[in-house]
Structure formats: C-alpha cells, structure tokens
C-alpha cells in the first residue's frame, strides 16, 4: 500500500470515529442539559434545541408500534442491514468517495443502533428551519446518515 493510500485510510478511520464520538458526546450533553427544559432558540430561531426520546425511526415513524415489533424492526433489522452493507462493500471492493459515503451511513446508523440496544430509544435534540419551514428533530448521527446517502447517490450519478 502506498503512503498516500495509507494516510488516506487512516484519515478516513479518524473521520468516522470522530462522527461517532461527536454523536455520543452531543447526545450525552443534550440528555444532561436539555431534558425537562423548554426549547431553546438560537440565531433568530433558525436553530432550536429540544430534547426528545425517539423510539421510532426517521421522524419517529413506527414509534407507536408494539415494543416487540419495534425491537425486531429497529434493533434486529437495522443491525442486520448495517452488517449486510459492510459485507457488500467489502466484497464489492468499494473505495474512495463511495466507501466514505458508506462509512458515514454505517457509522451514523451504528451510533443510533447502539442507543436502541442500550437504552431503547435514540436521543434527538436539533431542529433547524426558517419560520414555519422546519425539519424534524434529529441528531448528529442522522446528519451522518443523510450525508452518506446523499454522497452515495451523487457518486453513483457522477460515475454512472
């Protein structure tokens, strides 16, 4: 392996580990400082911080499902999907931007998956928007997941 490839590989691993670390720390801080408090608004209400425990998936979809079904879907199913994606990427010999995109997706998914396994829910706390146009409440792992999907779509379009 060339020196440039080795450095690139190590930077990729560092970036991915940083995402998980940042997600874990921000969720901890949100739990300690935002739980039980009113929503906080910043930058002329563009950013809102509000503590939420999400037992569902994206935008709390499936939160009302019975617990055994949620466990099967969100713990076993998403865990299996993450493992499948890793195996597929390895067998397909993904590299470069495509591998980084998958890394973002898997790292974000793994961090949220760990929350579901350890405490039964995912901590969300960020909301952005202008006026009535707002996102749902999300976290750093969700940003990594969406960035990974967007990058993967872009690289597939660009290379295809």
Residues with active-site annotation: 124, 142
**What's the length of the chain?**
160
**What is the C-alpha to C-alpha distance for residues 65 and 71, in angstroms, rounded to an integer?**
10
Q: Is 13 helix (H, G, I), strand (E, B) or coil?
A: helix
Instruction: Assess contact for 136 and 150: CB atoms under 8 A.
Output: no
**What is the C-alpha to C-alpha distance for residues 137 and 123, in angstroms, rounded to an integer?**
9
Instruction: Assess contact for 86 and 126: CB atoms under 8 A.
Output: no
* Residue whose tokens read 């990974």: 148
């Amino acid at each position: 392996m060339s020196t440039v490839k080795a450095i690139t590989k190590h930077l990729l691993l560092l970036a991915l580990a940083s995402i998980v670390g940042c997600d874990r720390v921000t969720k901890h801080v949100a739990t300690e400082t935002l739980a039980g408090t009113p929503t906080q608004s910043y930058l002329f209400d563009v950013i809102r911080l509000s503590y939420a425990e999400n037992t569902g998936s994206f935008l709390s979809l499936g939160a009302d499902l019975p617990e055994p079904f949620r466990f099967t879907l969100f713990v076993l199913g998403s865990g299996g999907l993450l493992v499948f994606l890793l195996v597929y990427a390895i067998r397909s010999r993904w590299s470069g931007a495509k591998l980084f995109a998958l890394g973002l997706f898997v790292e974000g998914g793994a961090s949220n998956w760990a929350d579901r396994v350890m405490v039964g829910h995912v901590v969300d706390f960020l909301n952005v928007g202008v006026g009535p146009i707002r996102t749902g409440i999300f976290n750093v792992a969700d940003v990594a997941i969406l960035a990974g999907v967007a990058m993967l779509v872009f690289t597939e379009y660009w290379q295809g």
